[in-house]
Amino acid sequence: MLHHTVLRVVAKLLVPVILLFAFYVQFHGDYSPGGGFQAGVIFAAGIILYALIFGLDDTMQAVPPGVLKILSASGVLLYAGVGIETLLLGGNYLDYDFLAHEPTHGQHLGIFLVELGVGVTVASTMLLLYYAFAGREQGQ
Amino acid sequence: MNLDSVIDILLLAFMAVIAIAIVRIRDLFGIAMLFSIFSLLSAGVFTVMDAADVAFTEAAVGAGISTILMLATLTRTARKEKPSNSKNPAVALIVVFVTGALLVFGTSDLPRFGDPQAPVHQHVAPRYIEESPKEIGIPNMVTSVLASYRGYDTLGETTVIFTAGIAVMALLGMRRSRRREDDEEID
């Protein structure tokens, strides 16, 4: 895929915007439609667009599968960890009221962390799925 | 007829045409692209119904990622669907018609769209609408429900995605990373 000049230029312009939009959807999910799930999918889609045009090998060097495996587990761990933290602070599991002095502040913090966990897991798992499917296509 | 229903009818008509096209054609690449368009149209329907979060998810997942995954799978399989060799297409047609008729019959009992007296709007929804600005303090109620009131469910969904990733990796593996190739060359 070396000669698609238009595709390469457009992708180079678009990929950063897509990744930035993913972060916007992630962290603005409290105020507008969106949240961790959508943001993770958009982030993965941006990187997959890069992989489609610039090749899987370069993408795997930039975003190594080993790191993705760790991230994919740590997102779930972050989510479950917030629950454990609220247990330790004296509340019920995933009862964010106890995360801060003010219940609504606790809810803000809890939702932020939980959505971050969802986003990290979704983005890295989608990328791992793509790597697993697309990686087998070459020469096997 | 107001504009909303015109858009609804247009979108649903397009969806029906695409569904029939998906059944008729044998080119799997074309089918994958039509599935993507189908998802995008249903995202449009959700937008008309003011379900912005659902539309967002449908557009990103249905039209985006799952199309790419289907195309990636297609590179591993045949490009054309085999002609079906079912001996009795009439039976299949009857089953489809009976199921469809039952579903249409079922909708006759549903409350009208947006009816405030519908059971689904009488159960926990009023409490979320009235209390969540005080309890959670977040303008987007969908996020409040998903991440806080229904936090267990979202934890479960995240675990499902994680488990699916593990399952795919256990089945397909990660063989083609560059480091492995270099190792093979050295060997």
Q: Which of B73, B146, B158 sits opposite A121 (nearest CB)?
A: B158
Q: Is residue B25 part of a domain?
A: yes
pLDDT digits (tens, 9 = 90+) for B112-154: 877 888 888 888 888 888 888 888 888 888 888 888 888 899 9
Hey, are the CB atoms on B72 and A134 less than 8 Å from each other? Answer: yes
Residue A3 has pLDDT above 80, yes or no: no
Q: Is residue B21 part of a domain?
A: yes
Q: How far away is chain A from the Cα of B174, in angstroms, using its nearest Cα?
A: 6
Residue B176: per-residue pLDDT: 52
Mutation for testing the B interface, residue in A18, A27, A30 having most B CBs under 10 Å: A30
How many domains does chain B fold into? 1
Closest-CA residue to A94 (of A108, A106, A84): A84
Q: Is residue B55 part of a domain?
A: yes
Q: Tell me the ipTM for this assembly.
A: 0.88
Alpha carbons within 13 A on the beta-carbon side of B180: 11
Position B180 confidence tier, pLDDT thresholds 50, 70, 90: very low
Q: Chain B residues with CB inside 8 Å of A125's CB? A: 161-162, 164-165
DSSP summary character for residue B70:
H
Q: Chain A residues with CB inside 8 Å of B61's CB? A: 41
Hey, are the CB atoms on A115 and B178 less than 8 Å from each other? Answer: no
Q: Is residue B44 part of a domain?
A: yes
Domain that holds residue B1: 1-81
Tokens 């990373």 belong to residue? B177
Q: Chain A residues with CB inside 8 Å of B152's CB? A: 93-94
Beta bridge partners of B27: B80
> Tokens for B81?
């669907």
Residue A1: per-residue pLDDT: 52
Q: Is residue B18 part of a domain?
A: yes
Tokens 């790419």 belong to residue? B68
d(CA A31, CA B49): 19
Minimum Cα–Cα distance from B138: chain A residue = A30
d(CA A107, CA A31): 14
